[in-house]
Structure 1
Amino acid sequence: MIRTLVVDDDFRVARLHVEYVDKLAGFEAVGSALTGAAAIEQVQQLRPDLVLLDVYLPDRSGLEVAKAIRTLPEPQPDLFFVTAARDVQTVRIAIRGGALHYLVKPFTFATFRDKLAQYRDWRAQLPVTAQADQATVDRLLGALRPVPPDPPKGVAGPTLELVVTALRDLDGAASASEIAAESGVSRATARRYLEHLVETGQVERRMRYGTTGRPEHRFRLVADA
């Protein structure tokens, strides 16, 4: 079992993530912490294999917690950042500090499950010997960060990211026109990408009926399951 410590300043979120961990085959939540100090203490006491670490903690940054964990005696846990912090500098510092993954809130349970499954598979591929050749190193890196499949014809990755970011920033159901205005793409382009996201299960489409005229399509990122 991969013994996992959950660190989040919100006790409700921490409890939810503990439930998420315990749903996954091969994982066991061994504790949760609401502060940076408690996180460091529990790492020392519980010796988890994996820490799911928030950036926004009440007493210190999760980045500082990660740095402190890296000064502890071996064996040290692997680190996943699970946080709403999305500025590029924070992501860079987290990666330089040894984060194996950086999962941005909000996310679905399916995304959470897939990231941890990748990690579980990666651990299973670690060689039992002390040495690894280049082929082994390449295989391990690929197992942890697999290359995503190419989007279908007519769907470009950067534009898709613009539409998803616009949906997230609008923080609720929005029309194709609103998403187009927020993302800077045309309404037709926004609608095409939204249809793709609906087909792949990342976005749900609902109808809003007004007093007059045709019903309006509203789009929303799929909520946590």
Structure 2
Amino acid sequence: MIRTLVVDDDFRVADLHVGYVDRVEGFGAVGRALSAADAIEQTRSLRPDLVLLDVYLPDRSGLDVAKVIRTFPEPQPDLLFVTAARDVDTVRTAIQRGALHYLVKPFTFPTFREKLEQYRAWRAQLDPGQSADQAAVDRLYGALRPAPSAPPKGVAGPTLEVVVEGLRALDRAASAAEVAASCGVSRATARRYLEYLVEAGQVERRLRYGSTGRPEHRFRLVSSGT
């Protein structure tokens, strides 16, 4: 379980996010902090794997909390900012202080779940005992790469969800034709959406060579762990 500390100045929002965390497979909320001081103390005492950190706290900024956490002995928790702060300077500072993701309020549970699943996929690929070649490094960064804020023309949200669920249901690397059959769309539609998901870092594309020597593109969800 990825032990997660939720930090937010509003107790109602904090409780909501605790519930969100507990709904995502592989995660569990181990604490809830409503102030910077409480966040620092709970991080020190609970040693969470992940801290969901608000910027606007009553005593100090969440950016200050991140700076303090970065002085703690290893292993330090990963940081995911969850906040209404959207100015570029704040985002830049959050990144400089170790934020792996930055989620802007308000958002829906599916958006929240997507960020945590991206983080879980990234974490699953880390093996301290192994070295990483360039391909492995690219996969690590791809697992954390956020999808574009809005799909391009020709990519509709509902159909995108259908394709993702179709690929998830197969639970393996699959061709565009197999995904199309799984989710009930045309092969061309499945291929277009899968290519978009590859660019967004949510799906990995591989080549498989058959008996004829002609390669076949196969796709799998980065977060599927297959």
- Give the TM bin, normalised by the shorter chain: 0.5 to 0.7
| Post-superposition CA distance 1:113-155 (Å, at most 9, x none) | 01101111111111242532222111100011155496125x9
| Alignment CA distance shift 1:150-1:35 (3 Å) | closer
Aligned to 1:22: 22
| Post-superposition CA distance 1:41-81 (Å, at most 9, x none) | 00110000000000000000000000000000011000000
Aligned to 1:152: 153
TM-score w.r.t. the length of structure 2 is: 0.66
Secondary structure at the aligned position of 1:64 is classed as helix
Divergent runs of 4+, >3 A:
146-150, 196-201
The CA distance in 1 between the partners of 2:131 and 2:160, in whole Å, is: 41
| Alignment CA distance shift 1:197-1:147 (3 Å) | closer
Structure 1 unaligned segments of length 5 or more: list them: 156-195, 202-225
More moved, 116-125 vs 139-148? 139-148
Q: How many residues align?
A: 160
Aligned to 2:6: 6
Please report the RMSD computed on the Cα atoms of aligned residues, expressed in angstroms.
2.1
The CA distance in 2 between the partners of 1:66 and 1:91, in whole Å, is: 13
Alignment of 1:1-225 (within 5 A): 1-145=1-145, 148=148, 151-153=152-154
| Alignment CA distance shift 1:24-1:150 (3 Å) | closer
Identity %: 73
The CA distance in 1 between the partners of 2:152 and 2:143, in whole Å, is: 20
The CA distance in 1 between the partners of 2:146 and 2:157, in whole Å, is: 21
Secondary structure at the aligned position of 1:19 is classed as helix
Secondary structure at the aligned position of 1:6 is classed as strand
Q: Does the CA contact (< 8 Å) of 2:8 and 2:14 recur in 1?
A: yes
Q: Larger radius of gyration, structure 1 or 2?
A: 1
Secondary structure at the aligned position of 2:51 is classed as strand
Aligned to 2:218: none
Structure 2 unaligned segments of length 5 or more: list them: 162-226
Displacement after TM superposition at 1:89 (Å): 0.5
Letter in 2 for 1:98: G
Secondary structure at the aligned position of 1:142 is classed as helix
TM-score w.r.t. the length of structure 1 is: 0.67
Q: Does the CA contact (< 8 Å) of 2:70 and 2:76 recur in 1?
A: yes
| Alignment CA distance shift 1:136-1:21 (3 Å) | same
| Post-superposition CA distance 1:141-199 (Å, at most 9, x none) | 0011155496125x9xxxxxxxxxxxxxxxxxxxxxxxxxxxxxxxxxxxxxxxx6788
| Post-superposition CA distance 1:95-130 (Å, at most 9, x none) | 111100000000000100011011111111112425
